[in-house]
Amino acid sequence: MTPLVLLLLAQSPSLVSVTGYLDSRTTAAETLGDGAAGLNELVEGNVQLKLTPHERFTVQADASLFWQGAWFLHGGDRDLPQYRPMVVLSEAYVDASPQESVRLLAGKKRIVWGSGLAFNPTDLLNPPKDPTNPTFQRAGAWLGMLEFPFEKVALSAVVSGKTMQQYAGLPTALVWYPPSPSFEATLGWVPDVRDDEAHWAFMSRLYLLVADTDVTVSLAYTNLYNDAFQNKTRPGLSLSRTFGGLEVHGEALWQAGSSRVEVTDGCEVSPVQCFLRGVPLASRPFLEADWLNVNAVVGGRYYFEDGGIFSTEYFYNGDGHDPAGFQRLGTLFKQYPALVQAALGQSQDPGTPQQFAFVPLRRHYLLLSYQKPQLFDDWTVFASVLASLEDLSMQLVPQVSYEPWQWLRLTLAAYIPLPGVPEWGVTIGEDSYGEFTLSAYGTRVLFTARAFF
Amino acid sequence: MTTLPLTFLALAFGAEPTALDALKAYDALMAPPHFKAVTKMTAHRDDGSTREYRMTVLKGEGDKSRIWFSEPAAVRGQEMLRNGENLWVYMPNLKRALRLASRESFQGGDFNNADIMRADYAADYDATLEVDPSSPDTWLLKLKAKTKDASYDSIKLWVQKAPLGMPVKGEYFTASGKLLRSAKFSEVKDFGHGATRPSLITMRNELATQRFSELVFDSLDVTAPAPDSKFALADLGR
């Protein structure tokens, strides 16, 4: 604890707020690929701490300890790193206001400026989230922020260093890779991908409340931060407004070129031959391209008089593949999933474990969801469908929750991938796959019990 | 700001108030220019069980208000902010704020968001004043929404003649004329610094008559500071 914090604690009565939950997620799944677990138990203990020693100074933290177990692994039971216990420090920061409209923040925090709920194209900082349930992702990024907040205007500037290596939820290397390779790389389990570059991002935004509309204009500069772009400047815009019971929003990010991975033509069917000939299996051919690209979301939420909420978002992913590119990528993925995952890059802190990890590969997506709370007082029904509009494959998520007491929530959900139109997806021999049926999992059933304290 | 005292002076000499006088008196009692209140809402459900919520309410100058939820644990850290026609909710599990519609139910109880976070009826409704023969000590204010964005299409509000504007009961209607909710204002309490008002509001859901919610004001401080910075969207979650 810094001397400044101790001084403030000594000068004023401290106000400590502690909350959190204990959560158990049990998943039974139809497994289709190597390493997929038929039965998975994930137990999370979460603590959220808020310390307010002074009205202009707060310290906040949000940490989770996960214990995981996986059984009935496809391909035979064995130890897999992704199912080991882990600590996730989602947030830990100090937040100070030396003056009325000046804010300084340092630490790890999830900052989202865009108005999208399931998709946030302007969010270049945070770990990815599950669009069918964004609440699963709580983790932010290590950053420093200077903000000038006013009632209807805010100016913010953020500098963030990418987590290059972490242990027990704490970074052991920020911005630059550590001088020594990781333990797994030393053993040859994973490739040594270290470089000498600084991995960082600068984000700025101007927020305005104009004509009852939230307007956010942002400008991002990133260098090898959560994608392969170097020295990339990207403007963004976000809008949100309500009209009676209807909320409408839009969010867009513009950039030159794309960081998408293209599989070399022909290598998807004979990757070994490409390797032997020295032909790269995949590349990022549009990193330096100067054509204008956009990632954008438009959506809305309608609040019914009975408490129901209908929500929809259309996501245009300018970094997505055309049909031929998707056919090559999908074909390679079905044969060598680990190879493609490595090529796509797991270049960021994944944050908290997600029930549905979404990596958009195509260009057009539609999310529809409907929630009806307080059915028979304590029941909530929820259903969402995330569809790839180019092959009409989709992830369907029906869910029902029951709250017998205010401190306990029980949820039963299913994750059902539907294949869509065979001719529009990936065809390998006589088999066809849609974008949402490429995964190693078929239908999954999830039971969650969460006790709040 | 000088019209209201002059109105009270006129009323002291026996003049009959106008509908706008009575409505402004109601607004002044129920929503002083700025205050900080600690409240508890209890939702009584069809099966006889209850759900309790504790919150701190801060009201600022103009149509600005903010709520911090402290109980139950499932909503602890949640906040709501109103600035004019704009309403946001800060969700700790999303780490961000979302826009809300005013008519959405407040934490699933029988109040809606505007019932709790907006009390500027003079701005939202046109009023007529009538005498209710069955209640000689009160005026009956009949309110009609000026815009479709108002929470209710029409309201009947019974307020005391003395002190003028002190609410006794209310009925809230949909555009089709259906009675949606009814309110009873009781347990008038002196909170200090001239703030005397009902400390208990009982809102009954007339579509499901077993359901009702109670809002109790444990404290109300009209001297608490309410700086503009507390009503900035960027301040949510701090």
Task: Name residue A314's amino acid.
Answer: Y
Split into its structural domains, chain A has a count of 1
Is the CB of A406 less than 8 angstroms away from the CB of B51?
Answer: yes
Q: Which helix (H) or strand (E) holds A283?
A: strand A282-283
Contact A112 B51 (CB under 8 A): no
Q: Is A273 helix (H, G, I), strand (E, B) or coil?
A: helix
Domain of A121: which CATH number? 2.40.160.10
Q: Which residues of A touch B148 (CB under 8 A)?
A: 244
Q: What is the predicted pLDDT for the residue at B12?
A: 52
In this prediction the ipTM stands at 0.90
Q: Buried b / exposed e across B73-95, counting CB within 10 Å, b at 16+? A: bbbbbbbbbbbeebbbbbbbbbb
Q: How many CB atoms lie within 10 A of CB B187?
A: 12
Parse chain B into domains and list their residue ranges: 17-222
Quote the pLDDT of residue B105: 66
CA distance A331 to chain B (A): 36
Per-residue pLDDT at A1 exceeds 50: no
Taking CB atoms and an 8 Å cutoff, what residues of chain B touch A95?
Answer: 238
Q: Is A133 on the interface with B (CB under 8 A)?
A: no
A311-362 pLDDT, tens digit per residue, is 999 999 999 999 999 999 999 888 888 778 777 765 557 888 888 888 899 9
Burial class of residue A19, CB neighbours in 10 A (0-12, 13-18, 19+)? buried
Closest chain B CA to residue A118: B94
pLDDT of the residue at B207: 82
Which pLDDT band, with edges at 50, 70 and 90, does A3 fall under? low
Interface touch B234/A101, C-beta < 8 Å: no
Task: Please indicate whether, in this complex, the C-beta atoms of B76 and A149 are within 8 angstroms of each other.
Answer: no
The pLDDT assigned to A392 comes to 97
Using the Cβ of B196 and the Cβ atoms of chain A, whether some distance falls under 8 Å is answered with no
* Residues 6+ away with beta carbon under 8 Å from A308: A370, A371, A372, A373
Structure letter (DSSP) for residue A116: -
Cα A50 to Cα A64: distance, rounded to the nearest angstrom: 15
Highest mean pLDDT: which range of A262-266, A367-371, B3-7, B173-177: A367-371
**A50: containing domain:** 3-162+199-452
Cβ–Cβ of B93/A138 closer than 8 Å? yes
**Residue B9, pLDDT above cutoff 70:** no
Q: Which residue among B52, B101, B228 sits closest to A303, beta carbon to beta carbon?
A: B101
**Residue B25 three-state SS:** helix
Q: Do A50 and B77 touch (CB under 8 A)?
A: yes
- Measured in whole angstroms, the distance separating CA A423 from the mean position of its chain's CA atoms is 30
Give the separation between CA B213 and CA B181, rounded to whole angstroms.
11
Contact B232/A150, CB-based, under 8 Å?
A: yes
Which residues have CB under 8 Å from A95's CB, separation 6+?
A57, A58, A59, A60, A103, A104, A105, B238
- In angstroms, the separation between the Cα of residue B194 and the nearest Cα of chain A is 27
Let me know if domain B17-222 sits in CATH 2.60.40.10: no
Q: What is the pLDDT of residues A218-261, one digit of tens each?
A: 999 999 999 999 999 999 999 999 998 899 999 999 999 999 99
Q: Do B72 and A406 touch (CB under 8 A)?
A: yes
Residue A207 domain-assigned (yes or no):
yes
Q: H or E element: which one contains B27?
A: helix B19-30
Judge contact between B111 and B125, C-beta under 8 A.
no
In this model, does residue B19 exceed pLDDT 90?
yes
Radius of gyration of chain A from its Cα atoms, rounded to whole angstroms: 23
Give me the pLDDT at residue B108, please. 66
Please provide residue A64's backbone torsions phi and psi, each rounded to the nearest 5 degrees: -135, 140
Chain A: nearest CA to B215, how far in angstroms? Answer: 18
β-bridge pairing A309-317 and B79-83: unpaired
% of chain A surpassing 70 pLDDT: 96
Mean pLDDT of B198-209: 89
Q: For residue A246, give how far its alpha carbon lies from the nearest alpha carbon of chain B (Å).
A: 7
Instruction: Tell me: pLDDT of A386 over 70.
Output: yes
Q: Which of chain A's residues have a Cβ under 8 Å away from the Cβ of B76?
A: 17, 19, 452
Cβ(A420)–Cβ(A391) below 8 Å: yes
Q: Note the pLDDT tens digit of each residue in B109-140.
A: 677 777 777 668 898 899 999 999 999 999 99
pLDDT surpasses 60 at B2: no
Cβ neighbours of B108 in A, within 8 Å: 307, 373-374
C-alpha distance from residue A378 to each of A133, A304, A408 (Å): 20, 18, 11
Q: What is the pLDDT of residues A4-30, one digit of tens each?
A: 544 544 444 458 999 999 999 999 999
Chain B residue numbers with beta carbons less than 8 Å from the beta carbon of A110 are: 95-96
Are residues B233 and A214, on separate chains, in Cβ contact within 8 Å? Answer: yes
